[in-house]
Amino acid sequence: MSTDTPTLTKKDFQSDQEVRWCPGCGDYAILSAVQTIMPQLGLPKEKFVVVSGIGCSSRFPYYVDSYGFHSIHGRAPAIATGLKLSRPDLQVWIATGDGDAMSIGGNHLIQILRRNVGVKILLFNNRIYGLTKGQYSPTSEVGKRTKSTPHGSLDAPFNPLALAIGAGATFVARSVDIYQKHLREILHRAAEHEGTAFIEIYQNCNIFNDKAFSYMTEKGVRDAQTLYLKHGEPLVFGKEKDRGVRLANNGLEIVDFADGGSPDDCITWDETVANPTLAFMMANMLPPEMPSPVGVLRAVEQPAYEAQVVGQIEEAVEKSGQGRIEDLLYTGETWKVGEDGEVSAG
């Protein structure tokens, strides 16, 4: 961190704009977590940019006192890619929702993931269209009754984590809006990752899809239905840490220590494995048969796209002696206009 960088606080990242989400919306908790970790990164405010598309989550740039770009539906990844390529020194964040990112923006999302552009993607997943008043979304469960599916949705939902892993994302994680300490830890990890960091955040829409994640967030069931992924530790869960997850012939299965199992039988989690197979299996652990994993599913090191592009340009310039815009402007016949209007050869 530069000694010239002033000490910043959460308040420095709170804008003067009135926050206009519905009272009780999970977006408030996510905003608070982001504003808390940003000053911890040791960067001046002008190095942060928040880019968004369209949706409730896409109001984010207004509420973070940094540079921002409220773009168009689904196109935040494309705009963020251009920004990161032109200014690799910036810390670029994307705020998007399950509809914005996985419907109209689906192609843009998978392209930024496969390229490993060094941006941080926050996917607010509330399994509903909130801004347009409650239609089903790409992550809504089968049978979901909404204004646009009065007889129940027939669509199989997207699995954001599985999609990100399948697209080759180098950092994939999940947290929950009300798991504040955990969410801040994951955001900090994402900010330090060199390539694309993709975080799915379960976010409650208390107006149009209230308690969508109550099966794992309610106090009485949280310990039994949440699996915390901790690098280098066995996958155990439960209030008494009396259950775990192990590999079986047909995939993953739950082992109950009361029946003779132990943590030694469980998978020791390794988020750095290059092969995405186990991370993909973890992404497909679905309730109620399995607990829902939260934490980092994958964190592997690969060159960031913008670094490779800059390197390619520098190599081309070094080999040819050309490539700078200044050289292009002064190539061929040029003229100089004097103060008196007289034109002379350049």
pLDDT of residue 5: 66
Longest dimension (CA), the chain: 95
- The per-residue pLDDT of the chain, averaged, comes to 94
Look-up of token digits 């292009």: 328
Q: How far apart are CA 9 and CA 291, in angstroms?
A: 36
Residue 328: pLDDT above 80? no
Helix (H/G/I), strand (E/B), else coil: 332: coil
Residue 77: pLDDT above 90? yes
Residues contacting residue 318 through CB under 8 Å, at least 6 positions apart? none
Closest CA to 290 of 334, 253, 328: 253
pLDDT of residue 339: 80
Residue 109: phi and psi, rounded to 5, are -65, -50
Instruction: Give yes or no for a contact between 173 and 136, defined as CB atoms under 8 angstroms apart.
Output: no
Angle at 181 between CA 238 and CA 291, to 5 degrees: 30
Residues 262-318: pLDDT tens digits? 999 999 999 999 999 999 999 999 999 999 999 999 999 999 999 999 998 888 877
Residue 2: pLDDT above 60? no
Q: How far apart are CA 253 and CA 255, in angstroms?
A: 7
3-state helix, strand, coil in the chain (%, to 5): 35, 20, 45
Instruction: Give yes or no for a contact between 175 and 183, defined as CB atoms under 8 angstroms apart.
Output: yes
pLDDT of residue 1: 47
Task: Label residue 332 by pLDDT band (50, 70, 90).
Answer: confident
Portion of the chain with pLDDT greater than 90, in percent:
86
Domains of the chain by start residue, with CATH: 10-212 (3.40.50.970), 314-345 (no CATH)
pLDDT of residue 145: 96
Residue 9: pLDDT above 50? yes
Q: How far apart are CA 133 and CA 131, in angstroms?
A: 5
Lowest mean pLDDT among 125-129, 142-146, 214-218, 310-314: 310-314
By CB neighbour count within 10 A (0-12 exposed, 13-18 middle, 19+ buried), where does 272 fall? exposed
* Tokens found for residue 94: 């994307």
* Tokens found for residue 256: 């109950």
Please give the DSSP secondary-structure letter assigned to residue 241. S
Task: Label residue 340 by pLDDT band (50, 70, 90).
Answer: confident
Q: How far is CA 92 from CA 45, 46, 196, 221, 252, in A?
A: 12, 11, 10, 36, 36
Q: Taking residues 45-51, what's their average pLDDT?
A: 97
By CB neighbour count within 10 A (0-12 exposed, 13-18 middle, 19+ buried), where does 92 fall? buried
Lowest mean pLDDT among 17-21, 112-116, 119-123, 258-262: 258-262
Q: Taking residues 231-253, what's their average pLDDT?
A: 95
Closest CA to 237 of 249, 252, 254: 254
pLDDT of residue 346: 65
Q: How far is CA 117 from CA 25, 123, 176, 276, 285, in A?
A: 30, 16, 24, 19, 28
